[in-house]
Structure 1
């Protein structure tokens, strides 16, 4: 009986820790910028987007895979090009 109760308590404690690990990953990666997911504010001005992308690119391999960093860098270059185009008009 004690073994069953101990096993149940261990399982319960592990399942309650899982959401914390998921939140940590979501807080480290900006899924809105990376994959257009979890975007509470869908509309961002270009300068804000550039600032956020720059900050995420600086995180680099500590948080993102090399492919994700390449995606962020590409989006950053596109945003900078769009800003330049708008400033020239």
Structure 2
């Protein structure tokens, strides 16, 4: 009886905990993730991949983004490039 109870509880917990993150991000969530680094829990990218994505989004230009959004994307790109340079030892106090 005890084993059956543990199995049922385990199955229930797995079923509830399984869909913690959505499989696909909505356009709004993607934009928010790119522009404000919010709602990015399901996406873990390397710095190089983030730089590539930011460049691709910036290339879309004003057809997709407002001037303010483009400025934010460019700022994020600069920050990511600076971080990469620092990690590679190309920048910093060394």
TM-score (norm 2): 0.58
In 1, distance between residues paired with 2:79 and 2:38?
A: 19
How far residue 50 of structure 1 moved from its aligned partner, in angstroms, is 0.3
Report which of the two has the higher share of helix: 1
Q: Which residue of 1 aligns with 2:16?
A: none
Q: Which residue of 2 aligns with 1:67?
A: 68
Where relative contact order (Cα < 8 A, 6+ residues apart) is larger, the structure is 1
Q: How many residue pairs end up in the alignment?
A: 64
In 1, distance between residues paired with 2:82 and 2:55?
A: 14
Q: Alignment RMSD, CA only?
A: 2.1
TM-score (norm 1): 0.61
How far residue 31 of structure 1 moved from its aligned partner, in angstroms, is 2.6
Is 1:85 the counterpart of 2:86 in the alignment? yes
